[in-house]
Amino acid sequence: MALFNYLLLFFLFLVCNCTAEHLGEFCNKDKNISSDSPKSANIDHLLADLVSKTSSNGFTATSYGVGEDRVYGLAQCRGDVSKKDCSSCIQDAAKQIRQLCPNQADARIWFDYCFLRYDIQNFIGEVDTAFGIFYWNVENVTDPETFDKDLGALMDQVREQALVPKNGGLGKGKTKLTPFVTLYALVQCTRDLSQLPCAQCLAIAVGNFPVFCEHRKGCRVLYSSCYVRYELYPFFFPQDSSNSTGSSGKYLRAVMHP
Ligand SMILES: *[C@@H]1O[C@H](CO)[C@@H](O)[C@H](O)[C@H]1NC(C)=O
Ligand SMILES: *[C@@H]1O[C@H](CO)[C@@H](O)[C@H](O)[C@H]1NC(C)=O
Ligand SMILES: *[C@@H]1O[C@H](CO)[C@@H](O)[C@H](O)[C@H]1NC(C)=O
């Protein structure tokens, strides 16, 4: 299977409520730059732009500089997140990405509430699933067959929502598995993508569920073009007031790299 041609870079065990911590980063080591280069100065300007512009509507795709030193950037918050949370997430992202990838002209950082990236190549509007981060709950569901059916139906529903232009690439929903157990799902494409690349990104993410997430109680797939997540507890806004059992648990992480 083509999936297994990917190199699994590393695994990490963690127990957390990781909303505030970053979920991962990608520093492209094939695009090294020195920290006193014009490109690096342009990245600093770009990041300031992204921070100031993104909180108002949750999304910015822009560029800074001219000629070969021009840098392209994108910042986006998850569509259900408040302006306040969005703003603080983008600020953290802009700060941390420079600490994590100080010498790269292509860098990306993922949080639950936001995503930020920049590159010297123009990537705006293009689907990119080359680098992916997976998180999954170590616990398995008790009734895999029914679960797969219900998850599949919910995923179809939220993916369809994400493709409706007015939804800004966001789809979210829930379904009751039993009177006491509810499944929650959210998908989000970056807003520079049109319907087709958004649909492609979501299809690849869901198609890769079996690699790490088969029958798991929760799963997140983080790509540069989309975010896909399901859990057996409420995790998106407006927050569901129903029982939130299992909101903390053990998650494993793996990174997929071509
Ligand atoms: C880029 O820099 C890193 C160290 O920061 C190094 O490991 C890597 O080999 C460099 N890449 C290239 C293409 O020179
Ligand atoms: C869940 O299922 C996987 C694969 O079948 C297995 O390796 C793992 O140990 C199970 N996890 C738990 C907590 O039982
Ligand atoms: C919460 O769970 C209890 C039993 O575990 C159940 O009786 C109650 O109806 C649940 N509340 C909601 C809002 O689902």
| Cα within 13 Å of Cα(39), Cβ side | 22
CA of 242 relative to ligand 3 center, distance in Å: 7
Q: Are 165 and 65 contained in the same domain? A: no
Q: Are 156 and 102 contained in the same domain? A: no
pLDDT tens across the length of the chain (258 residues): 344 444 444 444 444 444 468 999 999 999 999 999 999 999 999 999 999 999 889 999 999 999 999 999 999 999 999 999 999 999 999 999 999 999 999 999 999 999 999 999 999 999 999 999 999 999 999 999 999 999 999 999 999 999 999 999 999 999 999 998 999 999 999 999 999 999 999 999 999 999 999 999 999 999 999 999 999 999 999 988 765 555 568 999 999 987
Q: Are 228 and 250 contained in the same domain? A: yes
Note if the pTM is more than 0.95. Answer: no
Length of the chain: 258
CB 168 within 8 A of CB 191: yes
| Closest C-alpha among 9, 2, 186, 21 to residue 93 | 21
Q: Are 88 and 142 contained in the same domain? A: no
Q: Which domain holds residue 246?
A: 131-257
| Closest C-alpha among 193, 228, 182, 192 to residue 208 | 228
CA of 124 relative to ligand 3 center, distance in Å: 45
Q: Which atom of ligand 3 is nearest to the CA of 179?
A: 14
C-alpha separations of 186 from 42, 77, 220 in Å: 34, 13, 10
Domain membership of residue 63 (yes or no) is yes
